[in-house]
Amino acid sequence: METKTLALIVVALAALESVLVLSGVLTPMLAYSPGNIVFLIARNAIVIYAGWGSDGIKDAVSRGAIISASGATVFVIASLIGSAIHHPMLGISFPPESMPIVYLAIIVMNTAVGVIGALLAVLIAGFIRPKKDGSKTKSKAKNPG
């Protein structure tokens, strides 16, 4: 599946979770209610799927970064909306002047987690998936001399 499609799925999941939190159906994200955890698992599964289907480490890293940053950006926007309507989105409290740093940290940390997840997936896939010649691992040529 294309990176754009996977990123849109993660954005849709993040938007749905944000609407549910802002409407009071779910607790703020960092409360880690069962509903929040289901959304977290779903988003991480998409990142791992993206890494698994990548064409190498560089592709996995870029896919993981794009997909995770997309979802994190939705949460930052939802947090801004939540602060405007006085409803907690994240479940953390910081002075207003430090919130830009908090939002940046959210995007950077989520992107890093996405990169690590996709990278691990592509590395594990490299050992498990059969190669074009039918073997599961790279064969090493024996030294004839």
Residue 44 lies in a domain: yes
Residue 77 included in any domain:
yes
Q: Please report, as a single letter, which amino acid is at residue 53.
A: G
Is residue 134 in some structural domain? no
Residue numbers of the domain that contains 72: 3-128
Residue 107 near residue 72, CB atoms below 8 Å: yes
pLDDT at 60 over 70: yes
Residue 65 belongs to some domain of the structure: yes
**CA torsion, points 72, 78, 31, 52, in degrees to nearest 10?**
-30
Q: Is 24 exposed, middle or buried (0-12, 13-18, 19+ CB in 10 A)?
A: exposed
Query: Is residue 138 one of the residues assigned to a domain?
Result: no
User: For the whole model, what pTM was predicted?
Assistant: 0.83
Q: Is 29 part of any domain?
A: yes
- CA end-to-end distance (rounded Å), the chain: 46
Kindly state whether residue 74 falls inside one of the protein's structural domains. yes
Closest CA to 14 of 45, 39, 38: 39
Residue with tokens 């849109």: 8
What pLDDT score does 145 carry? Answer: 47
CA distance linking residue 33 with residue 30, whole number of Å: 8
139 vs 13: which has the higher pLDDT: 13
Among 131, 128, 103, 140, CA closest to 51: 128
- The total domain count for the chain is 1
139 contact partners, CB below 8 Å, separation of at least 6: 133
pLDDT tens-digit profile of 78-126?
999 998 998 888 888 888 899 999 999 999 999 999 999 999 999 999 8
pLDDT of residue 132: 59
Report if residue 140 sits inside a domain.
no
Query: Residue 138 pLDDT more than 80?
Result: no
